[in-house]
Each structure stands twice: as structure tokens, then as C-alpha cells.
Chains A and B, each alone.
Chain A
Amino acid sequence: MNSIERRDFLKATATGVLAFTTVGAQALLSARQAYAQNVPFRLLKASDAETIEALGETLVPGARAAGMAHFLDQQLSVPPEEALLEARILNVRPPYVRFYRNAIAAVDNASRALNSGRNFAQLGPSEQHNFVDAMRQNKVQGWQGPGGSFVYLVLRSDAVDVVYGTMEGYEALGIPYMPHIAPDKRW
């Protein structure tokens, strides 16, 4: 991370938003705002992001609009000791992007093999639900990559983070957030 990015990151830490690169400039946005503004990804390929968003939406409704792909993209592009991912406490070895790339490849490879060449994002909602249910139970035929149930756990945690783990998410559920030190931009 260069010095400007680092300064932004530290500022983001204080204010509770994340640093994203928009056209020609750094901007501090929530992941939801980054999704809404169609901010370019730093690290994810468009097809990766499409799969992540489809998985996220299947795991937790609202994860796509909450900016799950942008959240992961930003988190995967900072040094591991600055990343805020659940992967950190689930003992995924850095660099975390390796795990996510392997996970996405496992999902899409298995999906194509089982669904006439279609990636996960191209499946219908019920097909996606059934695929994730099988992945959860390590029952996807021909699966190759990190364990399916572990991929389920990590991606589900990410989706839970962006939908239910923010101040906005607590508010939507009707749970008092009660912070000592608030992430004051609702993140």
C-alpha cells in the first residue's frame, strides 16, 4: 500500500468507511455506496465479482446491494494485518486472496460441470439455492478446492458482515447497536 492509500486506510479505520478508487481519485465510501456507484474493482475480475455477488445474495438476501464484492475487493487488496475479514479468525492463511480465488474457481468449475457449462451466477435462484445447500454439506459432485463447507462458512460470514454486521444492519433488524466507539459512518 502506498503512503496515500495507507493514510486513507487509517482515516477509514477512524471513520468506519473504506478507501475506494473512483475515477482518478481516492474516495472514502461504504461498500454499499461503492456498489451503488459502480466503483471499479481493484483486484477482483468482473467474473469473480459476479460469482461473489451471486453467492452472497444466495447466502444472505441483500448482500449484493450491501456491496459484498466491493467489501471483499477492498479487504483483499490491503495487507493481511489490516484486513477485517472473518477469514482472519477462521485461520485462513494469508494472502487471503488465494483462498477466495480458489473458492470461486471451485464453485464455478463445479457449477459448469453440473449445469451445462453455466457459472454459478448464471443459474436460476432455486438452482443456486440447491448448489449452496450441497456445498454446505460437502456434497457437490466433482468439487475441487477448499472444503465446500468451509467455503460456505467463510462466504456466509462475509455476507452476514455486510448485511447484518453494520450499524445499518442492526437498525434494519431492530437491534440496538449501543457502541462505545461508533464506526460513525455506519460500518
Chain B
Amino acid sequence: MATNEKVDVVVVGAGASGSVYAAVLAKQGKKVVVLEQGPDWQLSDLTSSDIWGRRVKPAGGPFILEGKHPVSYGYQAGWGVGGAALHYFANFPRLLPNDFKIKSEHDRAHDWPISYQDVSPYYDKVASDVGVSGDAKAEEIWRPAGEPYPMPPMKTFRNGQVWIKGFEAVGIRMVPAAVGMNSTEYKGRPACIYDGWCHVGCPIGALANPLVTYLGDARKSGAEVRPWSTVTRVLTNPEGTRVTGVEYYVKKGEPQVQPASVVVLAAWAAQNPRILFNSATDKHPKGLANSSGLVGKYMMTHFASGTLAIFDEDVENHMGTTGAQYMSYDRYGKTSHKEGFGSSFIVAGFALKTNDLGGIANARLDLFGADLHDFMKRAKRGLTRIGTFGEELPTIENRIELVSDKDEFGMPLAKIIHSYDKDAQAVWNANFEEGLRIAKTTGAKDVWSARGNMPTIHLMGGTIMGTEAGNSVVNSYGQTHEIPNLYVAGPGNFPTSGASNPTYTIFALSLRGAEQLAATWSTIAG
């Protein structure tokens, strides 16, 4: 097995969280290697097409999807440099103070080991680093004040504007959506041109994907990114007290070792537990950082209730972004719906494509043949939608486990078992009902709910943070409780999910963790 020269930090995964660690530590002068299992995508690879856009998503993946509501892995996950943040929608809502203390306030789920005030400065730093457009002042009706966003809100289009009357009718306040996109030129990156291809990757850099933000910064500061490098194990010293590096494969070649003083696992909520399990030793028989048995537990997703409407007017549904134009936290209280417990987060106004998973043709999945073609002709200019995300509470039965089948590197596959509980299903239904009430007051010609199988959007949990090893895998910085020079980053660290899109919080928590690691380097790296 070939052994590479030792580095200060090896980061596993070149997505949102890994790129932050790489940037912060490389800027500190640390020797950083980032191992990414997929290709080294360039902006020029991001063809404007839903068909070609599928290349930046995994093909199969090492996961078997089980449960009543299997995780939508293929659509959510990333594959290659940039990770899922290469094709994310760049909605940048933040968690709210009530997300951090559900246990204290409602005796449900877990408290976070930190408060909103601990994360808030990092939301502001990330906004400055990557560029966020929005109206921070307007958001203060729901959250404590912070720094203004560096750019004004994005443009709105009729596909968003037509919903405002309906929201007003039911007493929901909408404000400009916070998005990781450029409403104006920012740090040498151009302003958005509103052609709606965000979800297949923005090749002009108007959207804050890792290539043009933290990963670009990391590379400029000397970090080395190695694509096609699949990590199979984190290695430890004989005593099991410290990690010493990782084992990985370049394509299907021989295994290699990358020694490092610190290992940061940033391979997403599903893969991080799989690697920890596969790194078991006699000192860590259940896998690394898993004496509590909580690695792979408390997997969570968001669900969404979509409401669609067709208007007689041209709502310019080909214009805008895949992110939202408007957002609201007016149903974010945990008891907003009497039918079920959990927050809801509302968004409105999106560009639509014909054949995206959430596009025009799939707005009426029951239609086919001539009926579908008639619908396409009616919907092409008049169709628009709103969506309400819902919070899933963590349950220990939603989990990741290794199975006996193995991948091409001899690493066991894993299964992700996921089912929603009654609260989630009740909130999902309540949000559909409210969506219809909103839609019916807009003057739309035809309105309906986008019901189908209950969707699983975003993936969180599996390495949750907490106060000690008995109740969690990592501390609030992402440092594992059991091995001080092993960090885990990303949405897997969320102990509860909230209802807002997670990537802004992923960036913020990663920045907080990376800065702590840099500040205490000599203690941690040894």
C-alpha cells in the first residue's frame, strides 16, 4: 500500500463543508489535501440542460434505500468536486433561535449544545464570504438583528408576485428570500441573469457554489484537491486514541494511505457514518467515535408540500432562479399547526423547466399522452408554484447500517432506513391545506396540491452534535468526543433539522468549527 507524504489536514469530501475547512486551514498555512471521490468538475462542464445536468449527481451510490419513506439520495447528493452544493438551489434561510432548544421548550427531540447567538456571527461571515442577496432587516420580524446582507434582494417575477395576494389573505408575511446568489456583481463574480438553470450548476459563478467560493479560496491558498479519490477508512494509532490519516483508492487502483495530523470527514451525512463504521478496530469495535452507538442514528430529512396554480396571464415561469423569490417564517413556531409538531418554512416563486424533477411535466404526474401534451401547452406560461418545507423530528429508528454486500473497493455498502412519523405526516397535510387556501385567493384559474409519495429533501443527522459522548458523536465544533484530532463536518452534525434549507447553516457551522480548529491547532494536532 503506497503511503503519501504526511500533511497537516486531510479533508474527505470537496463539498460545502469540506471546502470551508480546506479554505480556512490553507489560509492559515496548513498543508491541506482534499480527497473527493468523483470528478474534478469545472464551471465549463455545467451545461444548461436537465438531461446533461444529471452528470453531477451520483450514479447509484453505495446506499440501499429502505423504510416507508426512502431517502431521495440520487437527487439530493453530489458527486464530484463541489458536492451537492454544485447543484443546490442556494436558498439561504437560517435556523431560528427556537430550533436550538426544542427539548427545553417543548420536551421533544434534542437541544443543540449551542444557541442561535453562537451561530449568528458565522451566518454574517458566510454572507460576506460567499455573497448573499436578501433583506436582513425584513427578516428581523422573526430573528435577532445581525449584519445586513452584502447585496440587495434578487429581482422578482410574476411567477412569484402573483402569490402575494394569497399570502396576505391568510395572514402570512412574505419577505425577499435570502439566497446565495448575486443580485449585483460581487467579488469579481457577475450578477445573476435569471435564466433558471441553477439546479444543474451555474457556470458563470453568480451562484455561490464551492468552486467559486471556499474551494476556490482553498486552492489559491495552496490546498491540493485530488479527484477520483475514494476514502474507505480512517486510520488510528495502535492505542486508538488518535487518528493518523486515511486509506483511499484512486479510481480502481491500489489503496493508498494519506497520513495527516488531523482528519476532517466531510463526505455528507450518509457517507460519513459509513466511513466511521468501516474504520472499526479492536479499540473501536463499533466504529470510530461510536462508543455511544449513535453513529448513523437520527437521520432526518425535510418534506415539502407543493401547491400549484395556473394563471391566465403569462407568469414568466421560464424566468428567475431555482431558488425562491419570497420566503416566510410565519409558520416556523413548533406548534404552528395544531395537527402536528414541528416548524414549517414557506417559499414562493421559482423558474420552471420542462423536465426537471420538479418541472412542468411533473406538475401533473397522473397525466400522459394527449392529456399531458394539452397540459404542457396550458402550463408553459401560466404555471407557478409555492412550497412549504416541514421539519422532521429525529427518531433513533431512522438510521444507517452497513450491509454485507461490498463496493468495488471492498467496502461494505450501507442501507439508509427512513420513515416519517405521525407529526411529520400531519404537518405535511396541514401545509397542503394551507397552500390550497392561499392559492384559491390568488385569482388563479386552476389550483391543486402536488401530492404524491411523501418527499425526502435534504439529509441530516447520523453524527449529531451534543454535550458529551453519551448523547452524541461530535461537539458543537464537529470534533468527535472520543478522538480529538478527528472532525466531522456537514449536515450530519445537526441534532434537529429545523425546516429551513440547510446549506447556509452547513457553511456557518463549518466555518465555526474550522476557525476553532485553527485557533487551537497545536493542542489538537499534537
Contacts and interface: CB of A to CB of B under 8 A. Distances in A.
Real binding pair: yes
B365 A84 contact: no
A5 interface: no
A136 B367 CA distance: 10
Nearest to B53: A84
Contacts of B357: 86, 89
Contacts of B48: 177-183
A144 to B, nearest CB: 22
Contact of A181 (B44, B372, B376): B44
A2 B381 CA distance: 45
B353 to A, nearest CB: 8
Interface string B356-400: 010011100110111011001100110000000000000000000
A58 B51 contact: no
A80 interface: yes
A59 B59 contact: no
Query: What DSSP secondary structure best describes chain A's contact surface?
Result: loop
Contacts of B361: 156, 160, 164
Contacts of A16: 47, 49, 52
Contact of A165 (B197, B355, B381): B355
B74 A181 contact: no
B318 interface: yes
A53 to B, nearest CB: 14
A84 B51 contact: yes
Interface in A114-140: 129, 132-133, 136
B196 A178 contact: yes
Contacts of B362: 160
Contacts of A85: 54
B369 A61 contact: yes
Contact of B60 (A80, A153, A156, A182): A80
A91 B65 CA distance: 8
B318 A178 contact: yes
A181 B47 contact: yes
Nearest to B77: A89
Contacts of B79: 81
B521 interface: no
Interface string B52-83: 10110111100001000010111100010000
A165 B354 contact: yes
Interface string A150-183: 0011001100110011100110011111111111
Contact of A180 (B57, B60, B197, B376): B197
A182 to B, nearest CB: 6
A93 B50 CA distance: 20
**Most B-side CB within 10 Å, residue of A61, A79, A161, A180:** A180
Nearest to B197: A180
A187 B373 CA distance: 20
Contacts of A179: 47-49, 195, 197
B60 A89 contact: no
Interface residues of A, number: 48
Given A157-B355, A160-B361, A176-B318, A183 B373 contact: no
A88 B73 contact: no
A89 B54 contact: yes
A106 interface: no
Given A84-B52, A94-B60, A173-B376, A58 B197 contact: no
B204 interface: yes
Interface in A60-119: 60-61, 79-86, 88-94
B60 A170 contact: no
Given A91-B70, A164-B361, A174-B380, A181 B203 contact: yes
Given A86-B54, A160-B361, A179-B48, A61 B370 contact: yes
Contacts of A26: none
A13 interface: yes
A86 B380 CA distance: 21
A50 B295 CA distance: 49
Contacts of B44: 181
A95 B450 CA distance: 31
**Most B-side CB within 10 Å, residue of A61, A169, A181:** A181
A165 B54 CA distance: 13
Contacts of A92: 60
Contact of A173 (B58, B370, B377): B377
B164 to A, nearest CB: 24
Given A179-B197, A180-B48, A91 B72 contact: yes
Contacts of B202: 180
B354 A164 contact: yes
B174 interface: no
B90 to A, nearest CB: 15
A175 B354 CA distance: 9
B25 interface: no
Contacts of A132: 368-369
A92 B369 CA distance: 24
**Most A-side CB within 10 Å, residue of B55, B79, B193:** B55
Given A164-B355, A173-B376, A173-B377, A183 B49 contact: yes
**Most B-side CB within 10 Å, residue of A81, A90, A129:** A81
A88 B74 contact: yes
A81 B503 CA distance: 25
B254 to A, nearest CB: 21
Nearest to B354: A164
Contacts of A156: 361, 365, 368
Contact of B195 (A79, A83, A157, A180): A180
Given A80-B59, A180-B195, A90 B74 contact: yes
B280 interface: no
B46 interface: yes
A16 B204 CA distance: 19
A52 to B, nearest CB: 15
A60 B72 CA distance: 25
8 contacts: A13-B47, A58-B368, A59-B372, A136-B366, A180-B204, A181-B48, A183-B48, A187-B49
Given A160-B362, A179-B195, 15 more contacts: A60-B368, A60-B373, A80-B59, A84-B52, A86-B54, A91-B65, A153-B365, A156-B368, A161-B50, A161-B355, A164-B361, A165-B51, A166-B51, A175-B318, A181-B44
Interface of B: 44, 46-52, 54-55, 57-60, 65, 70, 72-75, 79, 193, 195-197, 202-204, 318, 354-355, 357, 360-362, 365-366, 368-370, 372-373, 376-377, 380-381
Which 3 residue pairs are nearest across A and B when measured between Cβ atoms? A165-B355, A179-B48, A178-B195
